[in-house]
Amino acid sequence: ASKMPKENWAGAEWVMLNMVLAVGDRLLQRLMLAKDQHPVEISKTGVTLLNNLEGMVPLLLVAWLKGEFHEVPQAFAHLTAAGWGWVLSSCVVGAGISYSGIWAQSMISATSFLVLVNANKFFVIFL
**pLDDT (tens digit per residue) in 57-83:** 999 999 999 999 999 999 999 999 999
> What gap in Å lies between CA 29 and CA 33, rounded to an integer?
6
Distance of CA 84 to the CA centre of its chain: 23
- What integer pLDDT is reported at residue 24 of this predicted model? 83
Segments in the chain forming alpha helices (H): 10-33, 44-65, 72-77, 81-107, 110-126
- What integer pLDDT is reported at residue 120 of this predicted model? 87
The residue-averaged pLDDT of 11-37 equals: 79
The residue-averaged pLDDT of 12-39 equals: 78
Structural domain includes residue 1: no
Reported as a pLDDT band with limits 50, 70 and 90, residue 39 is: low
Number of domains in the chain: 1
Structural domain includes residue 62: yes
Domain containing 47 equals 6-126
